Amino acid sequence: MTLLIGGTGKTGRRVADRLTEQGHDVRVASRHSDTRFDWDDESTWPAALDGQRAAYITFYPDLGLPGAADKVGALADLAVKSGVEHLVLLSGRGEPLAQAAEQRVKDSGAGWTIVTCSWFAQNFSEDFLAGAVASGDIRLPAGDVSEPFVDAEDIADVVAAALADPARHDKKHYELTGPRALTFAEVATELSRATGRHIRYTAIDHEEYEDVLREAGLPVELGDMFRGILDGRNARPADGVRQALGRPARDFADYATRAAAEGQLT
């Protein structure tokens, strides 16, 4: 069996669908699933890991936050003791604390695949920016920085491949992005084109963004993380999708068209 931690989330549920369609047994674990898993309650970890061959690790709310690496490391160590043979970690591009978590997985003694991702395109339709898109005003402290947004469908394809064929993807570190970098103003243009509505991007300062996070019920520490990664360091597209799957990554415009057609960009 394969354990999917965060298996009801943006990437986890897509991975679950792919593996199930391929005939694999999956165990979905989250705070609200039948198999309960809570990063803040280590008593929930052993039952989730019991009997699993491989595990997909996603950390909530973000791997780039303080303390995440220690929790991931503790889970990886317990996974090895529980007989898990391969770990696939979802990580964040350009986040130093996320890199510490990656190293903890590599040091665990299990086989591993690291999937390091740029910003998800689906953040605009399924996550904390969906409300901003609905209101027609994306407010972020990003200036004119470019980001090669990655489609969660590509992430799920790579993760599912690594879990289904761990020997092929063992000790591989894939850096996943979209094929081109866009500024947030260009993102707003793409979303406007796909939806037929006027959606704009408004650059705000970090202090204002902390208020946005509070209103959304998200940790204000995310603002400090964004301050670090939204500085242009991640503007260059990477080729991890092609390395893992032998095909190009999906483009943001394709995501926007698909999400609008499915009613996700309201």
- pTM for this one? 0.94
Q: What is the rounded end-to-end Cα distance, in angstroms, of the chain? A: 37
Those residues of the chain that have pLDDT short of 70 are 228
- Which pLDDT score, from 0 to 100, does residue 237 have? 98
pLDDT, residue 220, reads: 82
pLDDT at 230: 79
Nearest alpha carbon to residue 184 among 223, 215, 144: 144
Domain residue ranges in the chain: 2-261
Q: Give the list of residues 6+ apart from residue 105 with CB closer than 8 angstroms, or none.
A: 57, 72, 73, 76, 87, 89, 112, 114
Please give the CATH number for the structural domain made up of 2-261: 3.40.50.720
The Cα 205–Cα 199 span in angstroms is 20
pLDDT value of residue 166: 98
Read off the pLDDT of residues 207-246 as tens digits, 9 standing for 90 and up. Answer: 888 888 888 787 887 777 777 677 888 999 999 999 999 9
**pLDDT at residue 117, as a whole number:** 96
Q: Return d(Cα 1, Cα 52) in angstroms, integer.
A: 5
How confident is the model at residue 249, as a pLDDT?
Answer: 98
pLDDT, tens digit, for every residue of 185-212?
999 999 999 999 999 999 998 888 888 8
β-strand pairing of 86-92 with 137-140: unpaired
- pLDDT of 79 reads 98
Report the 10 Å Cβ neighbour count for 100. 16
Instruction: Look at residue 42 in the predicted model and tell me its pLDDT.
Output: 97
Cβ count within 10 A of residue 141: 18
Quote the tokens at residue 88. Answer: 């696939």
